[in-house]
Amino acid sequence: MFSQRSLPLLALSLLCPALAMAQATPDIPAPPPPPPVAAPTTTSAPAPDPTPAPTAAPTPTAAPTPAPAEATAAPTAAPATSSAPAPAPAPSGRRVAGRLAVNPEGNTGLLRIGAAESVGPKLIRISFGLDFFKTGSLFAPDDGQSRVGGTLAISGSPVDYVELWLNTRAVSASNNLTNPQLLQSLGDLTLGIKGFYPVAKLASVGADLQVRFLSGVGNTSFDFGATEVRFRGLLTTDLYRATEQIPLRGHLNVGFVLDNSDKLLPEGSQLSEAERFALGINEFNRFTLGFGIEVPVKYVTPYLEYNVEFPLGYLATPGVVLSSNALRTSQTVVDATDIARPAVQRVIPQVLTPGIRVTAIPKLTLDLAIEIGITPDTAVGVPAVPPYNVVLFASYPLDPFGEGGGPAGPPVVVPVVVPEAPAPTQGTVAGLVKDQVSGKAVAGAVIAFDRSAPVASSPEGRFTSFEMDPGPVKVTVTKEGYEPATTDLSVAVAQAAEIEVALAPSIKEGTVAGRVVDEKDQPVAGAKVELEGPEAKQATTDASGHFELKATEGQYSLVVDKEGFLKKSRELALKGGATFSTDILIRPRPQQTLVEVKGDRILVKEKVHFVSGEARLEPDAAALLDQVVDLMVNSKQIKKVRIEGHTDNVGGDDTNQRLSQDRAQAVLRYLVDQGIDEKRLEAVGYGSSRPIAPNLTRRGREQNRRVEFHIVGQ
């Protein structure tokens, strides 16, 4: 039960660390500070290029880097000298005490604990790890179990705050109770990604995701149905960042394991605990929790971590009796059963790991850790924890881009002739652009100068001009949606003239134009047209019935009034720079008013006629409903009117209900079209449920076919 890829993988796992070690070069200790540099003399030979070697984070073995020598003082007439700049500060991936490193999986952190940080961008790290143990009575009183595993990983950070890694693992396990005794699991592949971000001076948070592809049992390809997925939330705290005195770091990991390894087994097949352990096959998904602390001091970093995994859906087998209270006890099963499972608290995988990380060798990081299993028992389907597991691994950084940086060599100090800076002859204009009404900063405003190139204001409303000769300058500030602003000021040598510009929002006007006609489409002259809304405007129609009004944009009511005619209105949304055109028909006021307010009703003395059996208004209904419009335009105190539709009992109830609703809605739509705000109206159909006369006669049924107007809000 092993993959044929074992030989290439093992060869690769041994070759890569050897190549990495071949590239290593020892740190170059920094030389003592040089003596003061004498005033240079001019020679025909050019000065050497002062470009320093790529700057790297300090390693524990490198001596402190001296500051560059100060420029040698010279008389006023003589040129001054200065030194080349000191190496740049260490990148975030390294610190003065201790060094970040990846674990055997390729993830920056401790042995199994992940850290919410990485070793630094554009560095590639190769790591190789070995682990082994040998013990007895792990799964049965007389068994002998041993295991040797190897992991090869490569990791890197392509950008800040992101880390990627890949690893492959090979395991050989032996148990004298299995057949064959030697079982191998070779070629498992894991891909991982981590994102993190510092949220405070001493804390960073992040999350990582690992996808593990398992090689099939007895074949050479991956079984993607058995893929394992791990997700963890990460928290790292670093007291050294805050105090620079306490070298103490802590880590917290909380996660979940989606374990599908049980799908590697052919349907119906069963494995013993020892066989499952050797092949890494488990049955339960798990909730994971881990804590870790480390003390990064010079040359070494001791650490301690604790990891626990809670199997989800695990059920113990009744009748399991423990023969003693020792940490690891044998079990006897009272009830006859093939597989017995003890209580969950005795099989939860728990590991306490002390370890030490050696950082004394430049670039190379070496770890030694012992995983101590503190789980009393084992159970089929739950990852078994051996009493101990010794882990050795090493990691080494590669810098293919020449930017991640190794340790810097000694600084090169080169005298540089620094000519006296010429006296300034120009000045600038700086200032703030803000909204005159709200006082908020205005971004993207164009600030133009009559004798310099224009500039734009920042998101904070600030701007600074290019340098210009001293003297008067005219400044013009423009921004879409605002009126232009102009100011004059004077520029002084070597100074920034400060100004503050308040832009007034521009007011855009729209136009309302139209014609007022009577029912014979003849123009109505002398009609008063009023616009009510953000502004109040008024006009009178000319001999052709035309009118035109201008107002700022907004929501308006347009009311038309002419002596001897019924009032009409229109609701409109006026936009700046646009024209709203409308023709309004007004009817002569009848000698006898057919519409009046009576109590909580608008009483209509004639019937509103509809096409028989339909919800279409007859032509004569318009004149009657225009009187309702006139009343509501003149009665602003009426806030809400319910239009009720009623029918007789001829036909089915559903048909009458639908017809009454449609007729009430048709009346509402006509009133809205004639300028009544729809918010003042509602339509309800009652069908034949509210008769006002018996439906036994033709006249009674005609009386019941009606539309009523009820005032429901004043």
User: pLDDT (tens digit, 9 = 90+) per residue, 646-685?
Assistant: 999 998 999 999 999 999 999 999 999 998 999 999 999 9
Least confident of 19-33, 237-251, 260-274, 676-690: 19-33
pLDDT higher than 80, residue 75: no
pLDDT of residue 195: 94
pLDDT higher than 90, residue 542: yes
pLDDT of residue 97: 36
Single-letter code of the amino acid located at 575 = K
- Cα–Cα separations (whole angstroms), residue 430 to 320, 457, 460, 461, 524: 83, 10, 13, 11, 61
Residue pointed to by tokens 């990148």:
91
pLDDT of residue 136: 87
**C-alpha 194, offset from chain centre:** 16
pLDDT higher than 50, residue 336: no
pLDDT higher than 50, residue 200: yes
CA 111, 112, 116, 122 torsion: positive or negative?
positive
pLDDT of residue 570: 87
The more confident residue out of 60 and 177 is 177
Closest CA to 157 of 183, 192, 205: 192
Q: Which two tokens stand for residue 2?
A: 């092993």
Residue pointed to by tokens 């810098």:
399
Q: What is the mean pLDDT of residues 583-607?
A: 91
Beta pairing class for 80-82 and 124-136? unpaired
Q: SS in 3 state form for 578-615?
A: CEEEEEEECCECCCCCCEEEECCEEEECCCCCECCCCC
Closest CA to 662 of 646, 641, 680: 646
pLDDT higher than 50, residue 35: no
Q: Which two tokens stand for residue 395?
A: 């990691």
pLDDT higher than 50, residue 73: no
Q: What is the mean pLDDT of residues 209-230?
A: 83
The more confident residue out of 202 and 154 is 154
Within 586-693, residue ranges assigned H as helices are 621-634, 653-673
**CA atoms within 13 A of residue 234's CA, in its CB half-sphere:** 27
Split at pLDDT 50, 70, 90, the class of 421 is confident
Split at pLDDT 50, 70, 90, the class of 186 is confident
pLDDT higher than 70, residue 411: no
Residue pointed to by tokens 């009117």:
641
pLDDT higher than 70, residue 99: no
Closest CA to 70 of 34, 42, 31: 34
Least confident of 192-201, 340-349, 452-461, 701-710: 340-349
pLDDT higher than 50, residue 326: no
Beta pairing class for 509-517 and 579-585? parallel
pLDDT tens digits, one per residue of 674-684: 989 999 999 99
The more confident residue out of 37 and 644 is 644
Residue 250 CA to residue 234 CA, distance in Å, equals: 11
Residues 6+ apart with CB under 8 A from 573: 554, 555, 556, 580
**C-alpha 616, offset from chain centre:** 55
145, burial (CB in 10 Å: exposed 0-12, middle 13-18, buried 19+): buried
Q: What is the mean pLDDT of residues 327-334?
A: 44
The more confident residue out of 137 and 72 is 137
Residue 299 CA to residue 357 CA, distance in Å, equals: 8
Residue 454 CA to residue 460 CA, distance in Å, equals: 18
pLDDT higher than 80, residue 609: yes
Whole-number percent of the chain with pLDDT over 90: 51
pLDDT of residue 410: 56
pLDDT higher than 80, residue 322: no
The more confident residue out of 121 and 285 is 285
Helices and strands (H and E) in the chain: how many: 6, 35
Give me the residues paired with residue 136 across strands: 144
Closest CA to 225 of 234, 217, 213, 233: 213
Residue 27 CA to residue 708 CA, distance in Å, equals: 98
Whether the CB-CB separation of 177 and 140 falls below 8 Å is answered with yes
pLDDT tens digits, one per residue of 509-519: 899 999 999 98
pLDDT higher than 90, residue 363: no
Least confident of 283-292, 418-427, 651-660: 418-427
Q: What is the mean pLDDT of residues 24-36?
A: 39
Residue 161 CA to residue 158 CA, distance in Å, equals: 9
CA triple 637-638-639, angle to 5 deg: 100
Q: What is the mean pLDDT of residues 239-246?
A: 78
Q: What is the mean pLDDT of residues 460-486?
A: 94
pLDDT of residue 431: 95
Residue 415 CA to residue 34 CA, distance in Å, equals: 12
- Cα–Cα separations (whole angstroms), residue 315 to 86, 324, 347, 375: 64, 22, 11, 17
pLDDT of residue 658: 95
pLDDT of residue 435: 95
Single-letter code of the amino acid located at 672 = V
Q: What is the mean pLDDT of residues 301-307?
A: 96
Residue 565 CA to residue 308 CA, distance in Å, equals: 89
pLDDT of residue 175: 87
Split at pLDDT 50, 70, 90, the class of 355 is very high
pLDDT higher than 50, residue 612: yes
Residues 6+ apart with CB under 8 A from 527: 516, 540, 541, 545, 547, 560, 561, 562, 565, 586
Mean pLDDT (the chain, rounded): 81
Whether the CB-CB separation of 47 and 183 falls below 8 Å is answered with no
pLDDT of residue 339: 54
pLDDT higher than 60, residue 21: no
The 8-class DSSP code of residue 563 comes to T
Whole-number percent of the chain with pLDDT over 70: 80
Residue 325 CA to residue 597 CA, distance in Å, equals: 95
Whether the CB-CB separation of 633 and 641 falls below 8 Å is answered with no
The 8-class DSSP code of residue 330 comes to -
pLDDT of residue 414: 63
Split at pLDDT 50, 70, 90, the class of 305 is very high
Least confident of 183-192, 338-347, 385-394, 603-612: 338-347
